[in-house]
Structure formats: C-alpha cells, structure tokens
C-alpha cells in the first residue's frame, strides 16, 4: 500500500487553473481591492495596479514588484490579486500612449496614495497637456507654495502613477531635465514621443 | 501589535497547490475545484480582519478543511442509497488512486489527518493545530485511519 506515491501527485496545473477561476469569482463578488498585472512597454515591463476607484499605481521595472505589492497591501488592502481583466482598460491606454496614438488618458484615477502638498503637486502635474512642459517651481506654485520647488520635486520623485500623471513633463527652471524614476533616458524618450520636434 | 499581511496573491502562490492537494484527498478531484473556490472566497472575505499572520498556511488549510466538511455533509444529504459509484475510470489509474477513494470513506477527522500527513507531509503539531485537537489525538487519528485502510485494501 503506497499511500505517499498517490498523494504526491503533482497538482500544480490543477491548482493554477483553479486559482484563476477562483480569482475570477472573487472579482465578480467584489472581493478584490487591488488588482494588478504586468504590461510590456517599450521601457520594459511595468506593473499596473487598479482599485475599484481607478488606476492607483504604475511601477517601472527598476522597482521590485514584490516590494510594490507588499506596500500596496499595507497601505490600501491586503486583498491584492493578479487579475488581468480589471487592469485591461489601463493596459490598453498605456499601449496606445506608448504607440503615440493616445494624447490624454481617460482612466479614472485613485489618488489614495497621495495626500497634502504632494497630492496637490501631482494633480497640478496631471493637468499639464501632452507635448508641453512645466517646471518644479510652476507646479509648486499651482499646488499653493511657489517657493517649494524642491518639495514638488520630491512629490514627483515618488509619484505613484508616473506616465499617466506625467511627471516627465516637469523640468528644472531653465530647461534642464531634473530627475526621473525611470531614468533620464526614459524621460528624454517620453518627451520626444510627445513632441518629436524637441 | 501591527499585523503585516502579505498580498493575498502571495498566499495563493505559496499555498494553492497544497490546499488543492488536500482538497483532492478530502473530497476527490471532481469536487476539489468547487471546494477550492469556496476556500479562496472565504479566505478573501476574512483576510483583511485577520489578526495573526504567523501561520497563513495553517489558516488556509483550516478554511479548506471546513469547506471539505461542508461538501461532505452536502453530499450526504444529496446521496441516494445505491452502492458506491466509482468516482472515475481514469485510464491507467493505479492502486494508489483507488486507495485515495478509500481515504474519502474514512471518518472526517481521520480522513483529514491522513491527507494532511501523507499528501502534504505536515508535522503532527501542525495537523493538531489545524484540526484543533491535541498532537496525540492527531497521531491517533492517522494511526486509526491507516489501520482501517489496511483492513479495506
């Protein structure tokens, strides 16, 4: 009687398929608070996370996605699941943006990872039109404190929704690039994508 | 003390196969899918309120166990008194598979103990915790279960 042999059957395939079905059911029951997926972009894979309110987080490949998800679990809700359907709209708009076919994002946003001055800076940045640029001083002023350009830079350095909240459009006064979470090459490439004349 | 709950996806990644194997042992491969889904949904409902994140595997298995017991009760209610219908006729099915059919005829605690012990190789301490019995009782359950299986084979 070899009970262990039968018991040790590999259930990885069944478990994966059953997990996918259970996640779909969880979505129908409204039990997913943060849905995420990865999306391939010209700048490498990005992590996209949405809540029932809207897009909440985009992470670049330089960030450790596990850490990002752990942070979302701590700050929003631990009901974090990989669910492609909920992130579909966001992925589609990002694809179109990177292909140069989309100039303004239509997605609802979830601002709950932002508060106070940083929230106001990010919202001011969100309103900078496609193909145009602003400065850290200008967005600081729009956020209510013209002298806080350094704080504005920090708020954008930790922008939870880059690309869609276009911090790549914010430069130093005088036109120097400033910084970018995805690296300065990416910032340049994004500016070129939006304004090929640059 | 602040409880740091990992993303639920991590639990699923780390424990889905073990939970599935346990359920397949408990209710059979045909009903394992439904039970698995019930387990995940119940776990998700309770997860944000969980106050102890030290043994998430045990927690998932405890939920799976109660879902398997529910399923058994439901099946007993549905059951019509005919002789045992073979659960499957898998080509090349071996004695091991037939043996697992017999495992499912064990009384619930013995069945759960045998599955935890032999399908997932849980230590008796862990089995005791999941079934909320003493370690000695967990050992006893496994021993009794195996004895019955030997008689039936």
CATH number for the domain that contains residue A120? 1.10.10.10
Select which of A34, A86, A152, A167 is catalytic. A167
pLDDT, one tens digit for every residue, chain B (153 residues): 468 899 999 999 999 999 999 999 999 888 999 999 999 999 999 999 999 888 899 999 999 999 998 887 787 777 655 455 445 444 344 556 677 788 888 988 899 999 999 888 899 999 998 888 999 999 999 999 999 988 887
Asked whether the beta carbons of residue A31 and residue B44 sit closer than 8 angstroms, the reply is yes
Q: Are residues A94 and A120 in the same domain?
A: no
Q: Could you say which of B7, B94, B118 has the minimum Cβ distance to residue A78?
A: B7
A104 within domain boundaries: no
Annotated active-site residue A167? The verdict is: yes
Which of A98, A124, A144 is at the close of a domain? A98
Taking only the tens place, the pLDDT of each residue in A77-124 is 999 999 999 999 999 999 999 999 999 999 999 999 999 999 999 999
Asked whether the beta carbons of residue A22 and residue B17 sit closer than 8 angstroms, the reply is no
Q: For residue B5, which residues of chain A lie inside 8 Å, CB to CB?
A: 73-74, 78
Please give the class, per CATH, of domain B8-152. mainly alpha
Spell out the residues 6+ positions from residue B107 whose beta carbon is closer than 8 angstroms to its own.
Answer: none
Tokens of A5: 């042999």
Phi, psi of A41 (to 5 degrees): -130, 170
Tokens of B18: 């073990």
CATH number for the domain that contains residue A16? 3.30.160.70
Parent domain of A171: 116-194
Listed by start position, the domains of chain B span 8-152
Asked whether the beta carbons of residue B20 and residue A4 sit closer than 8 angstroms, the reply is no
Asked whether the beta carbons of residue A19 and residue B95 sit closer than 8 angstroms, the reply is no
For B147, which residue in chain A has the nearest alpha carbon? A1
Q: Are residues A14 and A75 in the same domain?
A: yes
Q: For residue A21, which residues of chain B lie inside 8 Å, CB to CB?
A: 33, 37
The answer to whether the beta carbons of residues A85 and A68 sit under 8 Å apart is: no
Taking only the tens place, the pLDDT of each residue in A138-170 is 999 999 999 999 999 999 999 999 999 999 999
Q: pTM for the full model?
A: 0.86
Q: Are residues A20 and A94 in the same domain?
A: yes
Q: Are residues A85 and A122 in the same domain?
A: no
Q: Could you say which of B10, B37, B146 has the minimum Cβ distance to residue A21?
A: B37
- DSSP string across B17-85: HHHHHHHHHHH-HHHHHHHHHHHHHHHHHHGGG----S-HHHHHHHHHHHHHHHHHHHHHHH--SSPPP
Domains in chain A, number: 2
Spatial separation of the C-alpha atoms in residues A194 and A167, rounded to whole Å = 13
Looking at chain B, the number of H-run helices and the number of E-run strands are 7, 0
Maximum alpha-carbon separation in chain B: 55
């Amino acid at each position: 009687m070899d009970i262990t042999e039968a018991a040790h059957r590999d259930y990885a395939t069944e478990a994966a398929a059953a997990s996918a079905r259970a996640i779909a059911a969880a979505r129908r029951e409204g039990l997913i608070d943060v849905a995420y997926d990865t999306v391939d972009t010209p700048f490498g894979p990005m992590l996209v996370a949405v809540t029932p309110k809207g897009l909440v987080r985009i992470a670049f490949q330089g960030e450790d996605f596990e850490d990002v998800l752990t942070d979302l679990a701590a700050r929003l809700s631990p009901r974090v699941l990989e669910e492609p359907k909920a992130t579909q709209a966001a992925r589609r708009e990002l694809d179109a943006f990177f292909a140069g076919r989309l100039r303004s994002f239509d997605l609802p946003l979830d601002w709950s990872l932002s508060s106070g001055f940083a929230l106001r800076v990010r919202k001011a940045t969100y309103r900078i039109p496609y193909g145009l640029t602003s400065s850290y001083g200008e967005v600081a002023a729009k956020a209510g404190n013209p002298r806080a350009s350094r704080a504005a830079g920090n708020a954008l350095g930790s922008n939870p929704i880059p690309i869609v909240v276009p911090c790549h459009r914010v430069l130093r006064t005088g036109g120097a690039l400033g910084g970018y979470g995805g690296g300065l090459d990416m910032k340049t490439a994004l500016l070129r994508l939006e304004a090929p004349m640059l | 003390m602040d409880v740091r709950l990992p993303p639920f996806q991590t639990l699923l990644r780390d424990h889905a196969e073990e939970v599935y194997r346990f359920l397949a042992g408990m209710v059979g491969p045909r009903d394992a899918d439904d039970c698995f889904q019930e387990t995940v949904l119940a776990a998700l409902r309770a997860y944000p309120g969980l106050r102890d994140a030290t043994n998430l595997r045990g927690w998932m298995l405890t939920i799976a166990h109660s879902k398997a017991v529910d399923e058994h009760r439901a099946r007993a209610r549905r059951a019509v008194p005919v002789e045992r219908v073979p659960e499957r006729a898998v080509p090349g099915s071996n004695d091991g598979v037939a043996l697992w059919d017999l495992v499912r005829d064990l009384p619930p605690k013995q069945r759960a103990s045998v599955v935890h012990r032999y399908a997932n190789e849980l230590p008796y301490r862990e089995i005791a915790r999941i079934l909320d019995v003493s370690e000695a009782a967990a050992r006893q359950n496994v021993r009794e279960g195996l004895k019955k299986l030997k008689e039936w084979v």
